[in-house]
């Protein structure tokens, strides 16, 4: 079963369960697990979030306690990223000139920056409400916990995906025969900005790996769950046009550890055939 079919099945499962799924802790946990993969698929395909997402989020918020609800703002940000992705490709495809394509890319880049700013607030709110009781500036190493890193990894991967799409659109736009030199110059600036933003996300994701990925012994259940959450960020790095070769090696090495020690080689996917023979430069 491929990821698309799997995601569609999970969506139908949530629809069939309706509002009653939020009345129990098990139901809410199932929703969090299922929607995570639904959201990933929407960010991979550009299909946009499920139409029922807002209704589900509101029901989750009214039913869940604080500890369960802290991840919902991340889902909300992820859905916003999925909408930006869908709008970006749609507006670019509908553009009738190189100038209109540039405008679509500019608008998408500004939407990405606005989303990044909005993503910061849930992290600060989480730290303020659940850890220290007062707002703090991020990133501050001493203030980071696994919960914060999980949320941040999801945010960074969403943004990495958006910047990857932007880089692809920029490449297409620069190949248009009617593009002006001025537009080419601006596209180069946007390309550099997207690469820099992507690098920031990649470095933070890779920097968080030691907190989650243990080696040299059998993974226990909590660590195993954390490794599952790493699949999406690590594959995002491998798919990013902005990733450097050493960063790709680190991502592949981490996936190899997950595949062998976590026992989930199928979930690692098509990258696995290359992981076993990939050596450090």
Q: Domain residue spans in the chain? A: 1-69, 70-275
Q: How many CB atoms lie within 10 A of CB 52?
A: 13
What integer is the mean pLDDT of 114-129? 76
pLDDT digits (tens, 9 = 90+) for 22-78: 777 777 777 777 778 788 888 888 888 888 878 878 887 777 665 666 777 888 889
The answer to whether 179 and 98 are in contact (CB under 8 A) is yes
The answer to whether 258 and 227 are in contact (CB under 8 A) is yes
Work out the angle between the directed axes of helices 181-212 and 221-239 (0-180°, nearest 10).
Answer: 160
Residue 175, judged by CB atoms within 10 A of its CB (0-12, 13-18, 19+), counts as exposed
User: Please, which pLDDT band fits residue 173 given cuts at 50, 70 and 90?
Assistant: very high
The model carries a pTM of: 0.81
Task: Specify the pLDDT at position 279.
Answer: 35
Q: Is the dihedral of CA 74, 75, 79, 82 positive or negative?
A: positive
What integer is the mean pLDDT of 162-176? 96
Task: Provide the H-helix boundaries in the chain.
Answer: 3-17, 25-45, 53-63, 66-69, 72-94, 98-127, 146-174, 181-212, 221-239, 245-261, 265-268, 272-275
User: Please, which pLDDT band fits residue 272 given cuts at 50, 70 and 90?
Assistant: very low
Residue reference for tokens 């500019």: 106
| Higher per-residue confidence, 160 vs 20 | 160
Task: Specify the pLDDT at position 226.
Answer: 74
Say what percent of the chain tops pLDDT 70: 71
pLDDT digits (tens, 9 = 90+) for 70-101: 777 888 889 999 999 999 999 999 999 999 99
């Amino acid at each position: 079963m491929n990821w698309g079919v799997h995601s569609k099945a999970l969506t139908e499962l949530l629809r069939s369960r309706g509002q009653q799924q939020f009345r129990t802790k098990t139901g809410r946990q199932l929703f969090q697990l299922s929607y995570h993969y639904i959201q990933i698929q929407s960010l991979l395909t550009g299909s946009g979030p499920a139409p029922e997402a807002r209704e589900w989020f509101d029901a989750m918020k009214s039913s869940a306690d604080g500890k369960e609800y802290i991840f919902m703002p991340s889902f909300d940000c992820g859905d916003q990223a999925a909408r930006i992705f869908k709008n970006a490709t749609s507006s670019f495809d509908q553009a009738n000139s190189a100038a209109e394509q540039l405008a679509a890319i500019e608008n998408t880049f500004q939407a990405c920056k606005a989303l990044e700013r909005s993503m910061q607030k849930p992290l600060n709110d989480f730290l303020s409400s659940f850890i220290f009781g007062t707002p703090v500036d991020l990133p501050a190493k001493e203030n980071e916990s696994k919960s914060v890193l999980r949320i941040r990894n999801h945010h960074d991967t969403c943004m990495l995906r958006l910047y990857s799409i932007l880089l692809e659109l920029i490449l297409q736009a620069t190949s248009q025969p009617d593009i002006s030199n001025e537009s080419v110059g601006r596209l180069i600036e946007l390309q550099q900005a997207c690469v820099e933003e992507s690098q920031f996300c990649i470095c933070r994701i890779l920097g968080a790996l030691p907190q989650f990925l243990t080696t040299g012994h059998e993974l226990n259940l909590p660590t195993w769950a954390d490794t599952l959450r790493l699949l999406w960020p690590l594959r995002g790095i491998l798919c990013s046009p902005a990733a450097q070769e050493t960063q790709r090696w680190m991502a592949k090495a981490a996936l190899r550890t997950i595949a062998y020690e976590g026992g989930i080689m199928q979930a690692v996917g098509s990258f696995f055939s290359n992981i076993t023979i990939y050596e450090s430069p």
